[in-house]
Amino acid sequence: MKNIVLLGAPGAGKGTQAALIANEYNIPHISTGDIFRKNIKEGTELGKLAKSYIDAGQLVPDSLVIDLVADRLRQDDAKNGYILDGFPRTIAQAEALDKVADISVVIDIELPFETIIERLGGRLVCMCGETSHVSLLGDSKTCPKCGAEMYVREDDKPETVRARLEIYERQTAPLVEYYGKKGNMVTVDATVGTIEKVFEQVKKVLE
């Protein structure tokens, strides 16, 4: 059984690797966003409480996030392992998680911030759902799928990406030190090239 925590800055490819791990090892990919949406949609007591904070424009308190995560980890599909993506985000959350879960390994997907800014800043999206990159389309911003003009999302613009990375550095990067001291963290170098090459590293860690 593998209970995995994935760390990595926004744009480092964490979500992509989580999906590959989930498929390869047939374990659920668990993100706090999905947990929130499911509980709110189903109208659970925890979901109603989370919604009250979200509707008020406030952060959901750590204690409630932990309760939601703990409830999700008790479900049948997580009994043979799981991947936590986007949680924990802070030392306080990590300490609380340690009380309700036995984490086998923490994988830190590492990519230099400048590479992330370049990668996200060049990402193009289309109203039809297609995504591409300026390096692939050159001067043309025409969607290869539907022919419409593609654009850079607001949260992918360099100044926005830098702000997101600063928040990550301040809040989440200390987790690398926290798990490093516990001895169950492995760093995966995401500069090696393709998604497949990064995944080969991940598989070596898990096997």
CA distances in angstroms from 129 to 132, 138, 151, 156, listed in the order given? 10, 19, 11, 16
Amino acid at position 31, single letter: S
Structure-token match 């990668």, residue found:
119
Tokens (6 digits) for 12: 């480092």
Domains in the chain: ranges and CATH: 2-27+80-112+172-206 (3.40.50.300)
Tokens (6 digits) for 149: 């003009």
Question: Residue 89: which pLDDT band, with cuts at 50, 70 and 90?
Answer: confident
pTM of full prediction above 0.85: no
Catalytic residue annotation: 14, 89, 123, 153, 164
Nearest-angstrom CA–CA distance, 90 and 169: 11
Nearest-angstrom CA–CA distance, 160 and 172: 17
Instruction: Let me know: does 108 contact 8? Beta carbons within 8 Å.
Output: yes
Instruction: Specify the DSSP class assigned to residue 149.
Output: B
Most confident of 67-81, 136-150, 153-167: 67-81
Nearest-angstrom CA–CA distance, 45 and 39: 8
Question: Residue 1: which pLDDT band, with cuts at 50, 70 and 90?
Answer: low
What are the pLDDT digits (tens) for 137-160?
877 889 999 999 999 888 888 888
User: Can you give the pLDDT at residue 60?
Assistant: 86
